[in-house]
């Protein structure tokens, strides 16, 4: 059994009178320990796919089994629990709580989880900050940290609940190229050593190259699903070509 099983997932947004099909029957299997890059031009359904996989949103139809649990029929609160236990998020704009220390930001998911003593929470958060190389910045607020450091705090936060899946949405979008590489190295390291499944949403080919499997979406459908990155590159170029063609 795969960690993630998507079967004929459809998402339809009702925008006033117009129906927009963001996902048109996506089926996908992901196993434990995979490192997947989810790519595609804007409007391809990337974000919807990511929100669906992250259990933030519910598809209109289809079936999504996460670790054997059906997500599609879950209530808001059930999905919140599931996110808390199984999924860690890393965002483009870091999404850390302002004026709150790095340590407390990392602790946050534990606050909403099963009862853990404040001491254990603290220790756990501290050890993760050490792991991402911020052992000496625990008391700093996001405003006192550089972009790369903030993203490391966010990564520590996403790992604190020992999730099965790490969802990274354009994690390097706000970082310079050197810091981007460092962050991607960190992802690869995590994937290698702790067999965490990483789903990386990006439009940046260089960033996507870090993944071992590339999935390209276009118009709400998967057009490429390959471990050969060059296939994805070709598909993306052709779509860009179509878009820019006169």
Partner 1 sequence: MGLPVTLRIALRALAKNKMRASLTVLGVVIGIAAVTTMVSVGQSASRLVQDQFESFGTNVIVIFPGSQRGNGVNRGRSSPTLTAKDSDAIERECQAVLAASPMVFAGGQLIHGNLNWSPKEMVGVGPTYLSVRNWPIRRGSFFTSSDVNNAAKVCVIGQTVVDKLFQTRDPLGKSIRINNIPFRIIGILQKKGANLVGEDQDDLVLAPFTTIRKRMRGSLFNNVDIIMASARSANLSREAEYQITSLLFERHQILPGDDPDFEVQDTREIAQTLGVITGTLTTMLSAIAGISLLVGGVGIMNIMLVSVTERTREIGIRMAVGARGRDILLQFLVEAVLLSVLGGIVGLTLGTLASIGITTAINEWTSGTKWPVVISIPAAIVAILFASAVGVFFGFYPARRASRLDPIEALRYE
Q: Cβ closer to partner 1: 99 or 178?
A: 99
For the stretch 12-48, what's the b/e string if a residue is b when 16 or more beta carbons lie within 10 angstroms of its beta carbon? Answer: eeeeeeeeebbbeebebebeeebbbbbbbbeebbbbb
| Interaction between residue 111 and partner 1 (CB under 8 A) | yes
Segment interacting with partner 1 (CB under 8 A) among 90-98, 129-137, 180-188, 195-203:
90-98
Of 76, 119, 178, 246, the one binding partner 1 by CB under 8 A: 76
Binds partner 1 (CB under 8 A): choice among 10, 85, 122, 181: 85
**Residues numbered 22-61 forming contacts with partner 1, rule: CB under 8 A:** 51, 54, 56-57
Residues 6+ apart with CB under 8 A from 163: 85, 86, 87, 88, 196
3-state SS, residue 50: helix
The answer to whether residue 99 forms part of the interface with partner 1 (CB under 8 A) is yes
Q: How many CB atoms lie within 10 A of CB 138?
A: 19
Position 74 contacts partner 1 (CB under 8 A): no
Output the smallest distance, CB 53 to partner 1, in A: 13
Q: For partner 1, which residue of 68, 115, 143, 241 counts as binding (CB under 8 A)?
A: 115
Cα angle for residues 112, 118, 123 (degrees, 5° grid)? 105
116-175: contacts with partner 1 (CB under 8 A): 118, 157, 161
3-state class (DSSP) for residue 200 = strand
Binding mask 171-210 for partner 1 (x = CB under 8 A): ----------------------------------------
Q: Cβ(19)–Cβ(10) under 8 Å?
A: no
Among 22, 39, 44, 89, contact with partner 1 (rule: CB under 8 A): 89
Pick from 108, 205, 223, 233: which binds partner 1 (CB under 8 A)?
108
Q: What are the E-state strand segments in the chain?
A: 4-15, 18-30, 35-39, 61-66, 69-70, 87-90, 165-169, 197-201, 213-218, 221-226
Binding positions for partner 1, rule: CB under 8 A: 51, 54, 56-57, 76-77, 80-81, 83-85, 89, 91, 95-100, 108-109, 111-113, 115, 118, 157, 161
């Amino acid at each position: 059994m795969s960690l993630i099983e998507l079967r004929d997932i459809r998402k339809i947004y009702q925008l006033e009178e117009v129906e927009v099909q963001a996902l048109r029957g996506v089926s996908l299997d992901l196993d434990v320990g995979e490192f997947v890059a989810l790519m595609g031009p804007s409007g391809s359904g990337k974000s919807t796919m990511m929100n669906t996989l992250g259990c933030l949103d519910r598809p209109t139809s289809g079936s999504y089994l996460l670790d054997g649990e059906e997500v599609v029929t879950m209530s808001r609160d059930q999905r919140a629990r599931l996110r808390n236990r199984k999924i860690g998020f890393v965002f483009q704009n870091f999404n850390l709580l302002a004026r709150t220390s790095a340590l407390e930001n990392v602790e946050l998911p534990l606050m909403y989880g099963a009862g853990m003593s404040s001491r254990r929470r603290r220790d756990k958060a501290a050890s993760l900050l050490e792991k991402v190389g911020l052992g000496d910045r625990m008391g700093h607020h996001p405003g006192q940290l550089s972009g790369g450091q903030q993203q490391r705090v966010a990564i520590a936060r996403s790992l604190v609940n020992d999730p099965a899946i790490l969802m990274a949405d354009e994690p390097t979008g706000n970082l310079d190229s050197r810091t981007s590489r460092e962050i991607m190295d960190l992802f690869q390291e995590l994937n290698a050593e702790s067999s965490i499944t990483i789903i990386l949403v990006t439009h940046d080919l260089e960033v996507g190259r870090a993944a071992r499997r590339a999935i390209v979406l276009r118009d709400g459908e998967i057009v490429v699903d390959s471990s050969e990155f060059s296939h994805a590159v070709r598909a993306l170029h052709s779509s860009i070509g179509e878009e820019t063609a006169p």
